[in-house]
Amino acid sequence: MKILLRTAFLALTLNAATAMAAVTVKGVTFQDTDVVANQTLQLNGAGVRVKVIFDVYAASLYLPQKQQSAQAALSMPGAKSVHAVLLRDLTAEEFVAALVKGYKANNTEADQARFQPQLIALETMMLTTKNAPKGSRVRIELVPGSGTRIWFNGNRIGADIAGDDFYQCLMRIWLGNKPVDSDLKAALLGTS
């Protein structure tokens, strides 16, 4: 009986450790949880954005509950967070241009028109960083009821961008029908 109990305890401990493990992608470690608006989020997945043959950034997605469906992740209520750590030097203009390109490829013209002021606010905020050298950390989070909050290297940039639904449009950059990187999409959804 003691052996059975010890074996069961060991199995539970190993399962808990596996479920709570941080993930390392290209030398970047993403923690197993994140906290946004006093809500603990789970690491849903992490991967690398590759353009042609170059590693651009490592990214992670945090959700209230793990999801393997892009639609479920996009429509899930509550706080969310996307983290990106640059794996090469970029200018702020290059980083913003890539975000905008992915945004436009994955959102309807109606959504683009509807959220044009929010997109301009995001661009303006991100451009204040001037440069995004290798190792820079960008965090784009949804604070329910307040909107999209941007962090650069641990410092909050600007005011929250109003509209929880704008964040869903941003997430389509990585999870939409034409994601910036299909392998990264699969990794963020934990399906690769």
Instruction: Give the Cα separation of 102 and 97 in Å (integer).
Output: 9
pLDDT value at residue 72: 97
Structural domains present in the chain: 23-188 (3.50.70.10)
Partners of 132 in the beta sheet?
Answer: 90
pLDDT value at residue 151: 96
| Residue 88 DSSP symbol | S
pLDDT value at residue 23: 95
Q: CA 132, 163, 61, 173 torsion: positive or negative?
A: negative
Q: Residues of the chain whose pLDDT is less than 50?
A: 1-19
pLDDT value at residue 14: 38
Question: What does the block give as tokens for 182?
Answer: 């299909």
pLDDT tens digits for range 108-127:
999 999 999 999 999 999 99
pLDDT tens digits for range 67-84:
999 999 999 999 999 999
